[in-house]
Amino acid sequence: MQIDLRTVAIEPQRNAFDHLVRRFGDKPASRYQEGSYDIQAAENLHYRPTWDPDQALYDERITRIVMKDWYALKDPRQFYYSTYTLTRARQQDTTEANFAFVESRGLAAMMVPDLAATALKVLMPLRHAAWGANQNNTFICGYGYATVFTQPCMYHAMDNLGIAQYLSRLGLLLGDTEALEEGKRAWLNDAAWQPLRRYVEDCMVVRDPFELFVAQNVALDGLLYPLVYGRVVDDDFSVKGGSAVAMLTQFMTDWFDETRKWVDAVLKVVAAESDDNRTQLRQWIADWNCRAAAAMVPVIEIALGVEADEAVAEQVEAFKARIRKTGIDL
């Protein structure tokens, strides 16, 4: 039997804050809406930045992308701080369990030494690439316009840092501090890593927040994650008896699947806004994708040898198909 508890009923005077009523109609607002829309100052800003008097404190014009309303770039995951943190905390539980599983059963030691060495060779320098991604997403959050677009970039930046830290833990588990040092040496000196390092450093001087979004989150990650964590770790290493590595990088695989939905949603809205936007996006994506593909080949070669060219080419095709679905012809 259903029992309805009786409570004192008081009639609310209004449903939501004015700015949300203007956007979404006179109805109760979600917490995502309350925490994301119009909470960035927009008018009557007091001073020009001393670090660049040509721009305003919050400035839509520092990117070549033009939006009538930047708040159109809704995050399909509807992440605000709370839902973001709860989601990552749950994933962290899984990751912790995976690390504990690998460690307690000595799975790392059971891998063929060559395979473990290859895994470290591929993954350790990526700690630094992930740090580069953190820098770039922090930039987009700091200088991008409108909370719906910038807050997921802050979450993304913290995720990039988390990934760099998971990779470091993986290195300490499979190797030791020497593995990390060797990875950094390779990142700085080995020919295989120089195109990627150059790509990342070149990104760090891009100061158009949306171009940076394309270079990092669309073009580079769009190849790096499926290639490294999908093709190399999940497919190749697992077949060779290295599923322990796949367990330790499960977060990266899941994370890419989740975040690409957001990245695609952003591209789709921006491309649909105007022909100019679409043309600009096509050009940026084509340029950066070309460079990213070239940078990935020597990295994938470390694991796949002569098959690297083909693996990268396949992934580039898959990437183009993905981008076409957002309304941008490549």
Partner 1 sequence: MDMKATKKKLGMKERYRALTRDLGWEPSYQDKDAIFPYASYEGIKVHDWDKWEDPFRLTMDAYWKYQAEKERKFYAIIDAHAQNNGHLNITDARYLSALKIFLQAISPGEYAAHKGFARAGREFPGVGTQVACQMQAIDELRHAQTQIHAMSNYNRYYDGFHAFADARDRIWYTSVARSFFDDAMSAGPFEFMIAIGFSFEYVLTNLLFVPFMSGAAYNGDMATVTFGFSAQSDEARHMTLGLECIKFMLEQDPDNLPIVQAWIDKWFWRGFRVLGLVSTMMDYMLPKRVMSWREAWDIYGVENGGALFKDLARYGIRPPKGWDDAEKAIDHMSHQFMLGLYQWSFGTSFHSWIPSDEDMDWLSAKYPDTFDKYYRPRWAHIRKLKAAGTPFKNYGLARLCQCCQLPSVFTEPDDPTLTCHRETVYKGEKYQFCSDGCMDIFNNEPEKYIQSWLPMPALFSELGGDVGAWMNWVSLRDGVDNGDYDGSTDQQHFNEWRGLATSNL
Q: Select the span of 144-152, 229-237, 296-304, 316-324 touching partner 1 (CB under 8 A).
A: 144-152
Residues that bind partner 1 (rule: CB under 8 A) add up to a total of: 90
Residue numbers 271-330 binding partner 1 by CB under 8 A: none
Q: Scanning residues 212 to 251, which ones bind partner 1 (CB under 8 A)?
A: none
Nearest to 228 by CA among 252, 244, 247: 252
Q: What number of other Cβ atoms are within 10 A of residue 174's Cβ?
A: 24
User: What Rg, from alpha-carbon coordinates, does the chain have?
Assistant: 22
Q: 């990245």: which residue's tokens? A: 263
Stretch that binds partner 1, among 2-10, 234-242, 300-308, 314-322 (CB under 8 A): 2-10
Residues 20-39 that bind partner 1 (CB under 8 A): 29, 31, 34-35, 38-39
**Angstrom distance (rounded) from CA 246 to CA 237:** 8
CA pseudo-torsion sign 131, 136, 137, 143:
positive
| Residue 202 binds partner 1 (CB under 8 A) | yes
Does residue 177 interact with partner 1 by CB under 8 A?
Answer: yes
| Binding span for partner 1 by CB under 8 A among 50-58, 218-226, 252-260, 294-302 | 50-58
> In this structure, how many other beta carbons lie within 10 angstroms of the beta carbon of residue 112?
11
Considering only 61, 97, 105, 201, the residue that binds partner 1 (CB under 8 A) is 201
Please tell me the total number of residues recorded for the chain in this structure. 330
Residue 259's alpha-carbon distances to 62, 131, 142, 203, 244, in angstroms, are 25, 17, 19, 20, 24
Is residue 139 near partner 1 by the rule CB under 8 A? yes
Q: Closest approach of Cβ 252 to partner 1, in Å?
A: 13
- By CB under 8 A, what part of segment 93-122 binds partner 1? 95-96, 113, 116-117, 120
Residue number with CB closer to partner 1 (255 or 284) = 255
Q: Are residues 66 and 208 in contact, defined by beta-carbon separation less than 8 angstroms?
A: no
The residue within the footprint of partner 1, chosen from 26, 45, 76, 100 (CB under 8 A), is: 45
b (16+ CB within 10 A) / e for 55-74:
eeebbbebbebebeebbebb
Find the part of the chain contacting partner 1 (CB under 8 A) among 61-69, 124-132, 227-235, 319-327.
124-132
Cβ atoms of residues 75 and 267 within 8 Å: no
- The verdict on 92 binding partner 1 (CB under 8 A) reads yes
How many Cα atoms occupy the beta-carbon half-sphere of 163 within 13 Å? Answer: 28
Longest dimension (CA), the chain: 74
The one segment of 43-51, 234-242, 253-261, 299-307 that binds partner 1 by CB under 8 A:
43-51
> Which one of residues 49, 97, 100, 272 is an interface residue with partner 1 (CB under 8 A)?
49
> For residues 47 and 306, which CB has a smaller minimum distance to partner 1 in the complex?
47
Cβ proximity to partner 1: between 14 and 68 the closer is 14
Q: Does 15 bind partner 1 (CB under 8 A)?
A: yes
Name residues whose C-beta falls within 8 Å of residue 110's C-beta, 6 or more positions apart in sequence. Answer: 241, 244
| CA 161 – CA 184 distance, rounded (Å) | 16
Nearest distance in Å: CB 181, partner 1: 9
- Applying CB under 8 A, does 86 fall inside the site for partner 1? yes
Q: Quick one: which of 73, 102, 179, 295 contacts partner 1 (CB under 8 A)?
A: 179
Contacting residue, 184, 240, 268, 282, with partner 1 by CB under 8 A: 184
**CA 184/CA 193 separation, integer angstroms:** 10
- How many angstroms separate the CA atoms of 81 and 152, rounded? 9
176 binds partner 1 (CB under 8 A): yes
